[in-house]
């Protein structure tokens, strides 16, 4: 990953992770705009839903925060064992984040279209991580790195979702929140994976050289 892009991604990832900690674990999830919007649409949120939400928020913010450091060739080269240990934490948190994300998708604001949008996000998040794991187990480091870039682009949906929400609310207004949310359930991750695919294909040779160092 190019240094400038890595710095921007890292700053955004850490910022949103910090925001999630404050919002969900200090102020309380029930005070977030996301929850207030669901309640305003008449959604009934039971205790199990809140437990799943907290598990999803906690594990997903960890993957978001540590992901850039796993993608850094410079950091990986300095200490490969540390890279593996952090990678195991990433995978464990992703497993919990992915499956809880699937559960939450079925209760997403906007009905079936939002459910499909967030559901496919969770499925592809888990699948790309699984493929990356298979590649590294086979010693295919270059392909592992390519799949992890794809995977982290989906992790980064936690960032792009919030940016799109802000843009849509400013443009369309809060009265059109549900319609905006339906669109964002797809928009928060599809451009990410397309950009990641463009990057891994354009930078294929340089990525291969970086894993050989």
d(C-alpha 6, C-alpha 163), whole Å: 18
pLDDT attached to residue 143:
94
Q: How many CA atoms lie within 13 A of 198 on its CB side?
A: 6
DSSP 45-100: --HHHHHHHHHHHHHHHHHHHHHHHHH-HHHHHH-HHHHHHHHHHHHHHHHHHHHH
- Over the chain (213 residues), the average pLDDT of each successive run of 10 is 84 94 86 72 76 95 96 86 94 97 92 96 98 95 95 97 94 89 96 95 65 44
pLDDT attached to residue 40:
65
pLDDT attached to residue 153:
97
pLDDT attached to residue 30:
75
pLDDT attached to residue 44:
62
């Amino acid at each position: 990953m190019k240094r400038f892009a890595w710095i921007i991604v890292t700053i955004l990832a850490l910022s949103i992770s910090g925001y999630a900690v404050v919002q969900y674990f200090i102020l309380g999830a029930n005070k977030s705009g996301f929850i207030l919007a669901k309640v305003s649409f008449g959604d009934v949120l039971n205790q199990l839903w809140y437990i799943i939400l907290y598990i999803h928020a906690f594990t997903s913010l960890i993957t978001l925060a540590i992901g850039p450091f796993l993608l850094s060739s410079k950091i990986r080269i300095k200490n490969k064992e540390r890279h593996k240990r952090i990678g195991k934490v990433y995978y464990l948190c992703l497993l919990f984040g992915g499956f809880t994300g699937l559960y939450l998708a079925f209760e997403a604001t906007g009905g079936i279209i939002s459910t499909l949008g967030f559901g496919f996000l969770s499925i592809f998040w888990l699948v790309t991580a699984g493929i990356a794991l298979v590649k590294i187990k086979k010693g295919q480091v270059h392909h592992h790195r390519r799949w992890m870039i794809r995977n982290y682009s989906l992790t980064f949906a936690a960032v792009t979702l919030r940016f799109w929400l802000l843009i849509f609310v400013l443009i369309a207004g809060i009265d059109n929140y549900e319609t905006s949310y339906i669109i964002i359930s797809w928009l928060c991750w599809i451009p990410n994976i397309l950009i990641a695919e463009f990057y891994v294909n354009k930078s294929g040779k340089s990525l291969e050289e970086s894993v050989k160092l």
